Every structure is written in structure tokens, then in C-alpha cells.
Chain A
Amino acid sequence: MQEAGSMPDTVRPKRPLKSWFDVRHRKVGTWAFALNRLTGIGLSLYLIIHLVILSLLLQGEQGWNDFVTLVKSPFFLTLDVILLFGFLFHGLNGVRVGLVGMGIGVDNQRTLFWVLMAVGIVLLLAGAWLIFTL
């Protein structure tokens, strides 16, 4: 659950695009808001790329197997880890946003955020290990 952020208007950037990349004097809530959106944009683009890549299957065995060989290179495996980071951050921050949006944990959302991020780091490390060792 991604897009919706639970930022009060006081922390929503007044000039979104410029503000997202201006790292000065930012609180964690604003970072979470911006990163949620950046990962959301990235994951949405990936969805489309993923569908296009799956179309390779329609071209037959050679095209797909060549692709599989290519993406097993360390460069693409590193991209996989970045992708996994996007999934985990977006999903876990989305859990916080969803809970807070429903009135759960509103007073403790900073703690909730860091607990979920700790879970995310563990899952990211485990996932990265699997990506590079499978």
C-alpha cells in the first residue's frame, strides 16, 4: 500500500518535485513521504517493463533463455536488490500509512516507522543474500 502518505499538510512539500530532492532540514516523515513516492514511481515503471520483458516468452525459447543469462550478471543482480528495497520500503511504509490512516498508532507513528524499517532491513539482507547465492 503505497501511494497514500499520512503527512499532515504542514509537512507536505509546497513544491513537490523540487522539495523531494532538497535534502536540507528534512524530518523523517517528509523523507518517508518523498521516498514512498519515488519508490512508487519506480515500481510503477517496473511493472510496465516487467510486462514487456515477459513478452519475450512469446518469441520462443532462445530469446527468453538469452535474457535469463543476461540478468544473472552481478550488475542485474544488484538492480534486483535495489528493486527489492523499493518493494520493501514502499510496502512497509504503506503498512504504516494504512494503519495511521485508520487511526491506529497515530501517536507512535515514528516508532512504528522505525520498527517496520528494521523489519525491512532484515528482509532486504535476507533477500539480497538469496539473490546473490541462489
Chain B
Amino acid sequence: MASITADQKTTKKVAGKDSAGAWWIVQAITGLLLILLLGLHMIAHHFVVEGGLRNFEEVIDYVSNPVIFVLEVLFLIVVTPHAMLGLQSIVMDLGPGESAARTITWVFRILTIVILAYGIWLAVALQNL
């Protein structure tokens, strides 16, 4: 294992007392999954569609496929924590005090939950159109 890296130290700071690199590993795993899921998302939604985007009827027809629904929700579940953890570690790098760091951590946790909840609600709502 390589010596601990700067961002591992940052994520350790983000994670507080958690073991070093734990959040870095979460980022790495979600990042790896994202390469696959985002690749699929881009190809299926944009690169095989005439004009690059589906019209309304085509979108509704497409997202009503259960496999697509599961893949898109999975994509959301992977990308949201990855994005929020990333933003959180950038903000933490600005060197907030201990109290501010705790607040920042909670803000990003809440943001993660809100985005996930909204995204999943939207995906379900689209099923019912």
C-alpha cells in the first residue's frame, strides 16, 4: 500500500474518528461504479438516440422499463454520495474550525438525503405518468 495520500488525509478529516481512508475507499468504489453506470447512462440516453435526446413520449416509454428504472435509481444512489463527499472534502480543505466542520458534515449529509429522496421520488413519479 502506498503511503497515505493528501486526500486520504482530507477524507480522514471529513470522517472524524473513522479509520484513515475509509471515506476515500467509499469514493473509490462509488467512482468505479460510476464509470460503468455513467457510461451506460450516457450511451443509452444520449449516444444511441437520434438527436441526442428523446422526446416526451419516448422518454416516458423508456423510463417505464423496470430494468432502466432500477439502473437509474442505482446510478442516483451511487452518484449522490460520491458528489456530496467530494464537495465536502473540498470545503473541508478550506480549513474550517471544529464546530464549522461538524456543521458542514451535517449539511452535506442532509443534502445527500434530500437529493436522493427527490431523485427517487422523481423516478417513481415518472413511472406513473
- Are chains A and B native binding partners rather than an unrelated pairing? yes
Q: Give A8 to B86 CA distance when docked, in angstroms.
A: 18
Q: Which of B56, B86, B125 contacts A2 (CB 8 A)?
A: B86
Which residues of the other chain, A, contact B32 by a CB distance below 8 angstroms?
1, 98
Using a Cβ–Cβ cut-off of 8 Å, how many residues does chain A contribute to the interface with B? 50
In the assembled complex, A54 has its CB within 8 A of some CB on chain B:
yes
Contact with B along A1-37 (1 / 0, CB 8 A): 1111111110110001100000000000000000001
Instruction: Contact check, A47 vs B80: say whether CB atoms are below 8 A apart.
Output: yes
In the assembled complex, A131 has its CB within 8 A of some CB on chain B:
yes
Q: Which of B54, B60, B85, B126 contacts A3 (CB 8 A)?
A: B85
Which residues of the other chain, B, contact A106 by a CB distance below 8 angstroms?
2
Q: Give A64 to B55 CA distance when docked, in angstroms.
A: 7
Known A71-B53, A101-B24; contact A95-B35, beta-carbon cutoff 8 A: yes
A81-134 residues at the B interface, CB under 8 angstroms: 84, 87, 91, 94-95, 97-98, 100-103, 106, 127, 130-131, 134
Q: Give A100 to B9 CA distance when docked, in angstroms.
A: 15
Inter-chain CB contacts under 8 Å: number: 141
B52 closest partner in A (C-beta): A134
Instruction: Contact check, B50 vs A134: say whether CB atoms are below 8 A apart.
Output: yes
Instruction: Contact check, B6 vs A47: say whether CB atoms are below 8 A apart.
Output: no
Nearest Cβ on chain B to A83's Cβ, whole angstroms: 10
Taking chain B's interface residues, is the majority helix, strand, or loop, or is none over half, making it mixed?
helix
Instruction: Contact check, A1 vs B35: say whether CB atoms are below 8 A apart.
Output: yes
B88-106 residues at the A interface, CB under 8 angstroms: 89-90, 93-94
Known A3-B85, A40-B90; contact A8-B5, beta-carbon cutoff 8 A: yes
In the assembled complex, A41 has its CB within 8 A of some CB on chain B:
yes
Binding site for B on A (CB under 8 A): 1-9, 11-12, 16-17, 37, 40-41, 43-44, 47-48, 51, 54-55, 57-58, 60-61, 64-65, 68, 71-72, 77, 80, 84, 87, 91, 94-95, 97-98, 100-103, 106, 127, 130-131, 134
Binding site for A on B (CB under 8 A): 1-3, 5-9, 11, 24, 27-28, 30-32, 34-35, 38, 42, 46-47, 49-57, 59-60, 79-80, 82-87, 89-90, 93-94, 115, 118-119, 122, 125-126, 129
